[in-house]
Amino acid sequence: MRALTGKTALVTGASSGIGEAIARKLAAEGVNLVLVARSQDKLKQLADALTQSYAVQCTVLLADLSTQNCGATVHGQVKAMGLTVDILVNNAGYGTYGPFDSIAPENEQAEIAVNIAAVVDFAHAFLPEMLKRGEGTILNVASTAAFQPVPYMAVYAASKAFVLSFSEALWAEYRQQGIHVVALCPSAVDTGFINHLGNESVRKTAAFSTTLQPEQVAAHAMKAIYGKGPTHITGFKNWLIAQSARFAPRSLVARSSADMMRPPVQNGATSH
């Protein structure tokens, strides 16, 4: 097990939900933090709380991850502060829900930018220095949606499939050079992400009938960071479903997913 005390982790989307919960878990392990999101007030409150509770150093950086070269920009700020990032947590995510033709193209472009382009950009920005040191960890938050097509969340699921494949590929490329890359794949999580998918009736659908709490996902994130494999799925049931989706006929998987995800209300968009 790798000792984390005294290391520095950068967490995107750290102002709430999964990102905040992961930041709290890391701080409890004695990890200094670079907290990245768009909400200065929330980040400042979190940074103050973690510093007071765990005596770790917390740096707040504001960034819009839907902008081009956001990873390079944040890396430049981190370098200017003289900080070294040992653990990169690509958590920030954006989702859209509803029939594909009903969703504004600009919303889905933002979804692709945050869920895919930013993940690649941050990896490009921080991986080279990890390679020079011969150690480092990159945790990319994907989803169990990565393992099958998800009608009515088509772009979101496809973006998470990218994150999964990307993470597994980097794991294979760099695992013998001291770099641990892992995709964390949680099922539905009770955050603002769900709250904005439509209304409370969405929670009654099969796909969202059971949800994890951010703290549960954060506990799995720590296992993923300490682990060795390229993929960490939250729980045996979710692991079994993911494997089944990989081997079942794709048309059957898509139809079953459509039945679970069919919108009871108008579509919306949100971020986690």
Known catalytic membership, residue 156: yes
Q: 40-54 vs 17-28: helix axis angle to the nearest 10?
A: 20
- What pLDDT is recorded for position 264? 64
Domain that holds residue 139: 8-266
271 inside domain: no
81 inside domain: yes
DSSP 152: T
Amino acid at 73: T
Query: CA–CA separation, 40 vs 192, rounded Å?
Result: 18
59 inside domain: yes
Q: What are the tens digits of pLDDT across the range 157-186?
A: 999 999 999 999 999 999 999 999 999 999
Percent of the chain with pLDDT over 90: 71
Q: Is 266 helix (H, G, I), strand (E, B) or coil?
A: coil
Please state the pTM of the whole predicted model.
Answer: 0.90
Q: What are the tens digits of pLDDT across the range 77-91?
A: 999 999 999 999 999
1 inside domain: no
Local confidence band at 239 (pLDDT 50, 70, 90 cut-offs): confident
Choose between 269 and 149: higher pLDDT: 149
26 inside domain: yes
- What pLDDT is recorded for position 240? 83
Degrees (nearest 5) of the Cα angle 26, 30, 35?
A: 50
94, 97, 152, 156: which one is catalytic? 156
Average pLDDT, the chain: 89
Task: State mean pLDDT over 201-228.
Answer: 78
17 inside domain: yes
Tokens coding 253: 């998987």
**CATH number where 24 lies:** 3.40.50.720
93 inside domain: yes
Q: How far is CA 252 from the centre of its chain?
A: 28
197 inside domain: yes
| Structural domains counted in the chain | 1
- What pLDDT is recorded for position 259? 84
